[in-house]
Amino acid sequence: MALAALVAAANASPVSTTLKARQDISAPYLNSEAQAKGKLWFGTAVDTTSAEVDNSDYMTIFNDTNIFGQTTPGNTMKWMYTEPEQNVFTFAEGEETIALAEATGKKVRCHNLVWSEELPSWVTDGSWTNETLLAAMKTHITREIEYYGEGCYSWDVVNEALDSNGSFTENVFLEHIGEAYVPLAFQYAYEAVESFCGDIKLFYNDYSIEYAGDKHTAAVALVQTIQNWDGAQIDGVGFESHFSTSFAPTQAEIEAAMADFTALGVDVQITELDVPCTSVPCSADALATQAQVYYDVVAACMATDDCTGMTVWDFDDEYSWIQPAEYDGEGDGDLFYSNLTRHPAYTAVSEAIEGSDCSVC
């Protein structure tokens, strides 16, 4: 869909003339509830390269700022999209997310600048030295931050730099620059923001850091390294929170993990929450477990003053990145079914925000 059409869809009134009979846009309203309790938002990812933005029923829910007050581009600001060839920058697809957000009063968590995945071949297969790759990384970070500017509330500067055992993930940056690529990325990002006196928060984002373990310990140490790096700045840590009905930490475990980071003076946010069932369709028991996991994650954030926002990794099962055919039968992990009615987990999230007991767990 063209950018103008996306914005027109966001501004159209009423959008609901073609709603499915069972589409649910009634109260409770998760973003309104979260903001009333002092959080910045309850939000959702969106992928403007997928069919979801051509689905008027989906977009009606996405555009409702009472439900979602923030968005994250699922893919379009990653390196392979924004710099497919060295020094050839293509920012139009990322602009679509910012335009959608601005049209409906949403903040944007811009995602991401440096990651070992979704890199163009000129990065992964290049003949690099330490000096030349640092220059390329700095150029990429600087150009992207300066281009999108204040359209971004925050940036995930580095994404998933750690393996499950706490060691650094093998990638082209580690190979040619070493572990210093992480604090250097934050240094370059901070310099870019300062160049136009911007107010943009800089985050480290990762999964399996939401509970105690080697990776969590390593992530805490990494934040301290960034904080101690001359010229670098880090404002927060994203807890991705990709869980399932077969594994998830408890609310107490998540709160303890958050406390380890907030004690360092940084914020935390839930950034990519989803909870697929191990098989689909989800059984009644699985739906209750799924609701409990959503409840525990959101309740942990609500109980943590410096957990400032919560984002699900899209909200409709039809467009989830976890599809049964690709993930050994797992699926249906979002807050809305493919027909855009709500999982019981939607009620659980509302109850967690409001501080009441879970009635559907």
Residue 272 annotated to the active site? yes
User: Has residue 14 got a pLDDT over 50?
Assistant: no
CA angle 308, 296, 62 (to 5 degrees): 60
pLDDT in tens, 125-181: 999 999 999 999 999 999 999 999 999 999 999 999 999 999 999 999 999 999 999
User: At 23, is the pLDDT very low, low, confident or very high (cuts 50, 70, 90)?
Assistant: low
Tokens of 202: 């800089």
Helices (H) then strands (E): counts for the chain? 13, 8
Please state, for a pLDDT cut of 90, what percent of the chain lies above it: 93
Mean pLDDT of 104-118: 98
Cα(229)–Cα(113) distance, integer angstroms: 19
Which of 272, 318, 330, 351 is flagged as catalytic? 272
pLDDT in tens, 44-53: 999 999 999 9
Domains of the chain plus CATH, in order, are: 3-354 (3.20.20.80)
Would you give the DSSP letter of residue 103? H
Cα(164)–Cα(5) distance, integer angstroms: 42
Would you give the DSSP letter of residue 17? G
What crossing angle do the helices spanning 130-148 and 181-195 adopt, rounded to 10°?
40
Contact status, residue 314 vs residue 322, Cβ threshold 8 Å: no
Per-residue b or e along 339-353, where b marks 16 or more CB atoms closer than 10 Å to that residue's CB:
ebebbbbbbbbbbbb
Contact status, residue 192 vs residue 137, Cβ threshold 8 Å: no
Cα(336)–Cα(343) distance, integer angstroms: 5
User: At 16, is the pLDDT very low, low, confident or very high (cuts 50, 70, 90)?
Assistant: very low
Per-residue b or e along 137-155, where b marks 16 or more CB atoms closer than 10 Å to that residue's CB:
bbebbbbbbeebeebbbbb
Would you give the DSSP letter of residue 282? P
